[in-house]
Structure 1
Amino acid sequence: MEKEIAKHFLKGIPASPGIVIGKACVFQDILYLVERRDVEKGRAEEEILRLKRAIRQVIDELVEDNLRVSQEIGKREAEIFLAHVAILEDPYFISKIFQDIRESGINAEASVLREIEEFKKVFEKMDDPYIKTRAQDLSDIGRRVIQKLMPSPQNGCDLEEPVIIVASELTPSDTIRLDREKVLAFATESGGKESHAAILARSLGIPAVVGLEGLVSKVKKGDLLVVDGDMGILLINLPEELIENYRELQKSRESYRTELSKVIPLSSETLDGHEVRLWANIGGLADLEYALHFGAYGIGLFRTELPFLVWRRFLTEDEQFYLYQKVLTEAKGREVTIRTLDFGGDKFIEDGRREREKNPFLGYRSIRVFLREKALFRQQLRAILRASAHGKVKVLIPMISSMEEISEVREVFEATKSELRREGISFDEEISLGVMVEVPSVAIIADQVVKEVDFLSIGTNDLIQYTLAVDRDNELVNPLYQPLNPAVLRLIQMVTEVAKKAKKSVTLCGEMAGNPTYIPLLVGMGLSDLSMNPYALLEAKKTIRSIERQRWEQMARRVLDLPSVEAISRLLSEGDGPR
């Protein structure tokens, strides 16, 4: 059976849960139909005027879409359309297109496409999946403008019957215009879990799988598809006996999700009464509402990079303040840990002030940038401090590697607070300052670090990478990226014990925190605060409610004595501890 399935199988990224079976309808992408043509000399201004009219029409439509989605789905999902309006009204973004038309002498459609592609190159280099998928927002804007500039062909889907939409890329504007009663699922070649189309799919209850390489070339209209949004797979024209197997699986998955939702109002406690606080990692308001719906204790990590990357400039203090204040207001009294900018490596804003680095992830990044660009650092700190007057906030500094950096950060932090006091601007005088433990050097001297900060946050994704010298996105060495490596586990244990002894809080965030395979062991190692993707919260709570901490403490002691990943995995899989 496995060989038979393999012939019809595509693996992608699960973006919205559920299993559906239905016929395919393949969307056409207008971006592939754009042709470049030269504009006659002296007629560039006419082309720019044509573009301005198209932009005005798109802005009007985006405002209408915002109102429609607010009413039909929710304000959170609708905010993306106002963000698109802001981009189209951004003079920097638009002026670059105008300049290209004038200097290159090409038509507006081609110039819009070229600018979108340039932005996408910057975004798609980034190591944060959430930020990387923002490139799709720019593509969506480009499509809408181009559709106004050139005759738009039919997308290829008449939706006379319920179908599975197949596309190279499916944008938020595509998504909201679809008849929900006629759409069974989405399947796309590009995109990620954090794309707005994926978020809308989840809101609408439509299963979705993205990142399916070669999808459009392998599927044609009318093909019978199975979309498994839980596992991230798509199956094409399976034999009837295998289709029947999936129908049974579909029923059991639906039953499981119904049961899982029942844990939302329940406490996050082990069987022996130990509370494990489950926090959410967010990148903006879209994630925040899911975090609250799924019962997050608070926000353990608010990544602040996204708006800077969307606008490709450093936001003003007031712009940042407004964003942080809005998140705090929506958090409704829950504590929010705001991480300062984690630009770095190929995530840095390209402003032309530095040469390309040979090894960017070990170079000029994150707090290393801010300690050189202290005016920008103070600007973000001022915005966060001002926002702290409107809710519970903690400040988290990423990529710390030495005590000297901590001292320098503390100095800037205290100076910024003094500056606000002199100006008569209110903020939380008791606001906490903490650091990410993601570089092994800091984990090793955690006993010294904890004396100088108010809390610690263990960032497992980078800690594993740096400890094992493995790039998790490099397929050649990806198997060496091992969360259960004894060195990694001992560093986590060391930091946890140090924090506990110093009576300082420690939170573990990253992929490990939301993985049911690792959660029992982490609890046994003494961690009581785990921060994860909002969509992992229910599985995590279900896992916690099924284990006894005392028994997993015994298991953790045994695990930490083992010399290899293989030995640790074998012990955990043998069931010698509670499951």
Structure 2
Amino acid sequence: MKGLGTSPGVGIGKIFLYKEVKLEIKKNNVDDFNLELERFNKSIEKAKTEIDELYHITKKDVGEKEAEIFLAHKMMLEDPEFIKGVEEKIKGEKINAEWAVEETANAFISLFENIEDEYLKARAADLKDVSSRILRILLNKDSVDLLSIYEKSIIVAEDLTPSDTASMNKEMVVGLVTELGGRTSHTSIIARTLDIPAIAGIENIIDRVNHGDMIIIDGDSGEIILNPTEEELDFYREKLQREERLKEKLKDMVGKETKSKDGHKVELVGNIGTPSDIDKVLEKDGEGVGLFRSEFLYMDNDSLPTEDKQFEAYKEVAMKLQDKPLVIRTLDVGGDKEIPYLNLPKEMNPFLGYRAIRVGLDRPEILKTQLRAIYRASHYGNIKIMFPMISSIDELREAKSIAKEVRESLKEDNIPFSDKVEIGIMVEIPAVAVHAKAFAKEVDFFSIGTNDLIQYTLAVDRGNQNISNLYNQYHPAILRLIKMTIDGGHEEGIWVGMCGEVAGDKKLVPILLGMGLDEFSMSAGSILGARYIIRNTSKEEIKSHIDRVLNLSTATDVENYIDENILK
């Protein structure tokens, strides 16, 4: 069997076949609807308590950014439309709480699923998770206990909810296999964060395997071997041992320069989503932060965060980094990130719509407040500003003009700030990559955001399960746009970084080095692996392969060429 490898590595263990507990919901008429309202309200409170516990477990074991999904779940439990809908059904129809919850939730889920927007479809999955929790509490049913897994196991499931991944025994789970999902699904992101191999997209997998069967999964290739032979077990045990030896070698990378075999130095930095994430980056010897997603300040609030609140967050990270660079991306909302109090319009194509810098320029008071906070924090560290979703030089000039206004207002107020703050843009729209040289005349740096660059170039919604196989970072067109961006930046004397997932892809790190990328920004867990690859690679040798790679026809050709001519 073969699926889509979504988290690298080898997993060997017994199958833990996970099937959701089927809840039988029956409609019952009631005499005392007040009793049902009380049961419903108690179930909501208990669900909130459970979700709070999951939030803290995930925050501790995985990370604050990954735990944010449970803040969204808690908001759903407090959604007045949902609560009102259930209560009106109970009172109006005099029915039991279970039926009212099921009917109300299904109405919302159906609404979300029928909208051609993958973000809202994902919200449908979250609402299923939340409503199932309420129903399980009302029916006094226990969930499948993934925490009690006591031997090395690979969970096989149709899909795994955030609640499932938060509550599994992370010491004993050595792999995940799901029918649904893709590289950007919740399960895949958690797997990569926890360094657990994962494979998605195996049709009817739960009907093709048995609980307790021995299984091998290879998250690099997507290969699955069910009930392997001794020879197959020996082969993959050796591969697993090689991976473990490599992990030990990576520990030796702490304190070493990120310099290629032929002496070319690059900057190896981390992506963070909250101030607390900086600890992981420093623990893995990151040389700074190449992307600070500032959205958390807005998503964790019921209203726009104040200048002072933002200033304190940016200052905290800048001081921990000391003189190491900190690139702060201005507010990037819309598309897959919705903030209720901003009242962003519902759109047919939100990823192509009113989002990121477009919101900032349309509502400059939001951008000015953020820029004031960033400039104030620049007094305490080496801060750089990055504007997201720039598509035209006119937009860029307008954003720079607002930044100039902010600097002048801070001078008038006698508030100290650094006069060396670099301004750059994310290159995530193909038009910018194609026209890179002209944009480079206007900024101090580029940072290539490959997640959206791939999505826009290949016209593939990266959250759409049905076409996830088309979302491919090895596509020659993607590599050509990256090379054009690097060359355009260098021709105008600016440095070029990358902050998308591709920056930490072990197959592409040598290619990016050969193309001349100056800065690699990635999740903290990928930093030491990337340093190991760079230190064992000659930039000049790889450079001789670049034209050949760019002229290959398919993504598969690119992968095969890298495997056969570079990684070996």
TM-score range, shorter chain: 0.7 to 0.9
Identity %: 32
Unaligned runs of 5+ in 2: none
SS state of the match for residue 362, structure 2?
coil
2:288 to 298, 303, 311: 298
Distance 1:296 1:516 in 2: 17
2:3 to 11, 19, 28: 11
Distance 1:349 1:528 in 2: 34
Give the direction of change, closer, same or farther, for the CA distance of 1:504–1:61 in structure 2 (3 Å limit).
same
TM-fit CA distance, 1:540: 2.5
Which structure 2 residues correspond to residues 61-80 of structure 1 after superposition, within 5 A?
Answer: 61=50, 69=57, 75=60, 77=62, 79=64
SS state of the match for residue 236, structure 2?
helix
2:258 to 261, 264, 268: 268
Distance 1:78 1:401 in 2: 32
Q: Which residue of 2 aligns with 1:255?
A: 245
Distance 1:316 1:140 in 2: 29
- Asked whether the equivalents of residues 77 and 199 of structure 1 are also in contact (C-alpha less than 8 Å), the reply is no
SS state of the match for residue 21, structure 1?
strand
What do the CA deviations read for 1:71-126 (whole angstroms, capped 9, x no partner)? xxx84637479857755765994423321223343726437845984898599945
Distance 1:381 1:387 in 2: 10
Which structure 2 residues correspond to residues 339-378 of structure 1 after superposition, within 5 A?
Answer: 339-345=329-335, 354=345, 356-357=347-348, 360-378=350-368
Give the direction of change, closer, same or farther, for the CA distance of 1:442–1:274 in structure 2 (3 Å limit).
same
Q: Which residue of 2 aligns with 1:515?
A: 505
Distance 2:137 2:87 in 1: 20
Give the direction of change, closer, same or farther, for the CA distance of 1:573–1:436 in structure 2 (3 Å limit).
closer
Q: Which residue of 2 aligns with 1:405?
A: 395
What do the CA deviations read for 1:383-438 (whole angstroms, capped 9, x no partner)? 54455455443221122222211121112223344455566666545432211223
- Asked whether the equivalents of residues 401 and 442 of structure 1 are also in contact (C-alpha less than 8 Å), the reply is yes
For the pair 1:453 / 2:438, whether they are aligned, the reply is no
TM-fit CA distance, 1:506: 1.8
- Asked whether the equivalents of residues 300 and 337 of structure 1 are also in contact (C-alpha less than 8 Å), the reply is yes
TM-fit CA distance, 1:277: 1.3
Greater mean deviation of Cα atoms: 160-169 or 476-485: 476-485
Distance 2:442 2:43 in 1: 55
Give the direction of change, closer, same or farther, for the CA distance of 1:573–1:181 in structure 2 (3 Å limit).
closer
Report the TM-score, using the length of structure 1 for normalisation: 0.75
Greater mean deviation of Cα atoms: 197-206 or 95-104: 197-206
Q: Which residue of 2 aligns with 1:101?
A: 86
1:478 to 451, 470, 492: 470
RMSD across aligned positions (CA): 4.8
For the pair 1:316 / 2:300, whether they are aligned, the reply is no
1:217 to 207, 210, 218: 207
Structure 1 residue identity aligned to 2:227: N
Report the TM-score, using the length of structure 2 for normalisation: 0.77
Q: Which residue of 2 aligns with 1:6?
A: none
Which structure 2 residues correspond to residues 14-53 of structure 1 after superposition, within 5 A?
Answer: 14-15=6-7, 17-22=9-14, 24-30=15-21, 32-33=22-23, 35=25, 37=27, 43=33, 46-53=35-42
Give the direction of change, closer, same or farther, for the CA distance of 1:461–1:182 in structure 2 (3 Å limit).
closer
TM-fit CA distance, 1:275: 0.7
Give the direction of change, closer, same or farther, for the CA distance of 1:316–1:65 in structure 2 (3 Å limit).
same
Distance 2:114 2:246 in 1: 40
SS state of the match for residue 371, structure 1?
helix
- Asked whether the equivalents of residues 268 and 545 of structure 1 are also in contact (C-alpha less than 8 Å), the reply is yes
- Asked whether the equivalents of residues 157 and 177 of structure 2 are also in contact (C-alpha less than 8 Å), the reply is yes
- Asked whether the equivalents of residues 467 and 488 of structure 1 are also in contact (C-alpha less than 8 Å), the reply is no
For the pair 1:155 / 2:140, whether they are aligned, the reply is no
Distance 1:206 1:574 in 2: 22
Give the direction of change, closer, same or farther, for the CA distance of 1:143–1:376 in structure 2 (3 Å limit).
farther
- Asked whether the equivalents of residues 76 and 289 of structure 1 are also in contact (C-alpha less than 8 Å), the reply is no
Give the direction of change, closer, same or farther, for the CA distance of 1:236–1:329 in structure 2 (3 Å limit).
farther
What do the CA deviations read for 1:213-251 (whole angstroms, capped 9, x no partner)? 433333332333224345444433345554444344333
Structure 2 residue identity aligned to 1:302: F
- Asked whether the equivalents of residues 48 and 98 of structure 1 are also in contact (C-alpha less than 8 Å), the reply is no
2:383 to 393, 398, 403: 393
Equivalent pairs, count? 555
